[in-house]
Every structure is written in C-alpha cells, then in structure tokens.
C-alpha cells in the first residue's frame, strides 16, 4: 500500500485561465493537493472554448485541468468576494494569472491578503512581471516566444517558426509549480507564507541560455536550421532510399569513428581533416551531408536505423501525434491511464517521474461549476442560500 500523496491536506485556490496557471495547479493536484478552480459563471476558463477535439471538450482544457474542483463565482459581486474570502481563510496557496492589475482590483494581491493571512503562499504569473516598461503589455505565448528570441533561432533560414506547443506558458507553469513546492517547504520550517512572482518572459529566457551564451559579446547567434542542430553535425534528419526520414545525432569523436566505419562504411573519413572535429564537420556540412545521403539512399529507413543501432549511434523515428498515442515505449511502461470527464473516460498520461512511495492523483476533469454547490455547503451555506446565489448570478 502506498503512502499518502505529498500534498494531501494542501488547499489551492486558483484564479486561472488558459495554460500557465492551470498547468501549474494541475501538477499540484497530481501530488494530492485540493485545487479549487474559480471560474466565471456561464463561460468559465476561456480555454474551455478553444476547440472541441476531445469528444467535444477542448484539448488544452483536458490536458491541464484534471483532478480539480470547479467553482463558478462572480467576483464583481460583493457576495462573490465574501465567498472567496471564506475560501482564502482555509487555503494554503493562491495562484493567479489574471490580466495585469486585475488581482489587485479584486483584492487578491499579496499586499491585500498577507496582512490577513500571513501563512498564504501567493503565486502571481504574468507575461512580463509586475514592473518595468512591459508590465501592462498583453502576453500570449507567441508574443513571449518572439520577445525571448525563440523565433530567431527556430525554423529555417528563410522562415522563423514558433514552437508547436505553448512553451512560454509551460515554462512559466513549471517555474510556478517548483517555486510553490519550495515555498511549502520553507513554510514548514518557519511558518511564514511567501509571495512568488513568475514572468513568462523570464521563464523562457532561462530556457534560451544556450543560444544566449553562444552569441556572447555579439558573436553570431545559432542559425535557424530546421530540424537539424544549429551547431553540431551530423545531428538531424536524413532521408533514406525509401523516402522516409531518419533522425540521428553524433555527440563526440568516438561516435564519429563508429559512424564512419560501421554506418558509412568509409573508415578513411575518420582521418579526413575536413571532418576531424565537430566544428570542422559543421563547417563542411554540405559535403558531408551529400556523402551521408548517398550512403543512406541504398537502404530503407528501417535498415538505416538498424545500422545506427548496431553502431550505438543515437537515432529516432519522426513520429506524428498518431504515432505518439501508440508509442510502444509508453505502452510497455503503462504510462497511459483513464480519467473521467463530462463526456466519459478519457486517456491521460501519468505525470513524468515515477515515485514508488505514492500514486499520482488522476481524478476527473470538471464540468463548469460542477462543485459549486458542494463547496458552498462546506462553507456553511444552506440549500435556500445556494439557490438564491444562483438566481442572483453570484455563482
């Protein structure tokens, strides 16, 4: 029998929408925290309406909102604020990624809450931070990818490209998650709450550390090179004789020697001065690519992969999303489970990081306002009161 989950007994109140904050709080829920998601009556988190790809539910919402309770609450109403205040008096963590200044306007800023609840951990997620010239700018994921220079190093020579997923949101959500865990540890020692501020720009800039340092002192930055590595060669996609693509990567001279002898069947290349180091291989990559493609043209992609495996050279298939759903490694490790939802059971990936002392929480994705009445009852509201709150548009 496994131990209790690490965050059982921790209550999180989240005023969240879209991705960064929901991604953070879903991970807290995975570890056992009770996450109460505050949503607007009638509409809820606007990510609920992004698409209908998961049996009528939105793909982003399904991904980031399992194991939460949905409470609809109109925070522009005095009674709505009173309900929120009752929740906050029992909470451990508050997370919000509202528009700049909105948290202060609703009275849920750290300045407003910490005098009343000094033990609260308050995490504010924003695009650019609470001060500075960009403080009030709208910050969607693509805007942050642009500002953080990600597009300048991603794509092809002629066409910069965004990431295929919301990496700025994900980065911010991850740093919010880890900072909250640290704050909980700290509070366990000194009993004091914390105010955490996470900026999407700063989170993604941290992830840009390699290209930043590569271009230190105005050195040329990494070039956009499609799926190939910008500075290591050969490292990227190569077409085989059957028209399929093989992804391969070499990291050191030992691998280069094996690649020449066992895959290219050309041991003389090991001594070729043009290719005697990574920087030289990169400088002469056009000629080297021609040689590799000539060799690979004699084989199918599967045969090339077999040669690479035998030579212990890293390789990979270029999988589609359909391939990933049925990836044999994920299946063999039993990483897919089912969670409930308003439309029935749905597959969900277990959180990365297996821990043998507890099982992750994998509960249902909530319908809008599904837990409103039960939460109000917990707070002491009677049935008549709850009906009245619904009629008044408070919940």
How distant is the alpha carbon of residue 68 from its chain centre? 18
Q: In the chain, where are the structural domains located?
A: 11-208+333-392, 235-317
| Cα maximum dimension of the chain | 86
Residues of 237-265 as b/e, b for ≥16 C-beta within 10 angstroms? ebebeeeebbbbbbeeeebbebbbeebbe
| 168 membership: H or E segment, kind and range | helix 167-190
Confidence at residue 317, expressed as pLDDT on a 0 to 100 scale: 86
The answer regarding whether domain 11-208+333-392 maps to CATH 3.30.70.141 reads no
Handedness of CA 69, 72, 77, 79 (dihedral sign): negative
Residues 6 or more apart whose Cβ sits within 8 Å of residue 160? 151, 152, 154, 224
Strands 121-126 vs 194-199: parallel, antiparallel or unpaired: parallel
Confidence at residue 1, expressed as pLDDT on a 0 to 100 scale: 52
Q: What are phi and psi of 197, to 5 degrees?
A: -125, 120
Which CATH topology does 235-317 take? formyl-coa transferase, domain 3 (3.30.1540)
| 136 membership: H or E segment, kind and range | none
- Asked if 11-208+333-392 and 235-317 have one fold, the answer is no
Location of structure tokens 């495996």:
309
0.85 surpassed by pTM? yes
- How many angstroms separate the CA atoms of 198 and 102, rounded? 16
Do 288 and 275 contact (CB within 8 A), yes or no? yes
SS3 sequence, 67-133? Answer: CEEEEECCCCCHHHHHHHHHHHCCCCEEEECCCCCHHHHCCCCHHHHCCCCCCCEEEEEECCCCCCC
As beta bridge partners, residue 15 has 38, 96
- What does 8-69 look like in DSSP terms, one character per residue? TT-EEEEE--SSHHHHHHHHHHHTT-EEEEEE-TTT-SGGGGS--TBTTB-HHHHHH-TTEE
The closest of 188, 18, 168, 207 to 95, measured between CA atoms, is: 18
Confidence at residue 2, expressed as pLDDT on a 0 to 100 scale: 65
Confidence at residue 51, expressed as pLDDT on a 0 to 100 scale: 94
Confidence at residue 104, expressed as pLDDT on a 0 to 100 scale: 86
pLDDT averaged per 10 residues, the chain (length 395):
87 96 98 97 94 96 98 94 95 94 87 94 95 90 93 91 93 98 97 96 96 93 87 93 93 94 94 93 94 96 94 90 93 96 97 93 97 96 95 94
């Amino acid at each position: 029998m496994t131990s209790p989950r690490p965050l059982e007994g921790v209550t999180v109140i989240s005023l969240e929408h879209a991705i960064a904050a929901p991604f953070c709080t879903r991970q807290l829920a995975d570890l056992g925290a009770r996450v109460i998601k505050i949503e607007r009556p009638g509409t809820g988190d606007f990510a609920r309406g992004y698409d209908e790809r998961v049996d009528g539910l939105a793909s982003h919402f399904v991904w980031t909102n399992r194991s939460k309770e949905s409470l609809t609450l109109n925070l522009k109403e005095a009674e709505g604020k009173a309900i929120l205040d009752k929740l906050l008096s029992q909470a451990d963590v508050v997370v919000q990624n509202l528009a700049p200044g909105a948290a202060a306007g609703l009275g849920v800023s750290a300045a407003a809450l910490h005098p009343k609840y000094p033990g609260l951990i308050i995490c504010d997620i924003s695009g650019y931070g609470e001060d500075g010239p960009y403080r009030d700018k709208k910050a969607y994921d693509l805007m942050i990818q642009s500002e953080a220079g990600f597009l300048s190093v991603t794509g092809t020579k002629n066409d910069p490209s965004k990431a295929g997923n919301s990496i700025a949101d994900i980065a911010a959500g991850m740093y919010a998650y880890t900072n909250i865990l640290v704050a909980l540890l700290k509070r366990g020692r000194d009993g004091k709450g914390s105010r955490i501020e996470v900026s999407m720009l700063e989170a993604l800039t941290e992830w840009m550390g390699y290209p930043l340092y590569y271009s230190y002192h105005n050195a040329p930055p990494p070039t956009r090179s499609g799926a190939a590595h910008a500075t290591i060669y050969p490292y990227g996609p190569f077409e085989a004789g059957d028209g399929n693509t093989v992804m391969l990567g070499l990291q050191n001279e030992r691998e280069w020697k094996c690649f020449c002898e066992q895959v290219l069947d050309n041991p003389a290349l090991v001594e070729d001065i043009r290719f005697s180091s990574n920087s030289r291989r990169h400088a002469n990559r056009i000629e080297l690519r021609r040689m590799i493609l000539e060799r690979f043209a004699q084989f199918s992609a599967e045969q090339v992969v077999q040669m690479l495996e035998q030579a212990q050279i890293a390789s990979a298939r270029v999988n589609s999303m359909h391939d990933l759903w049925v990836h044999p490694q994920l299946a063999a490790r039993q990483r897919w489970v089912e969670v409930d939802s308003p439309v029935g059971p749905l597959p969900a990936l277990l959180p990365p990081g297996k821990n043998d002392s507890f099982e992750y929480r994998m509960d249902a994705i909530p319908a809008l306002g599904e837990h409103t009445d039960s939460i109000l009852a917990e707070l002491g509201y009677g049935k008549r009161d709850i009906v009245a709150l619904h009629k008044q548009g408070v919940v």
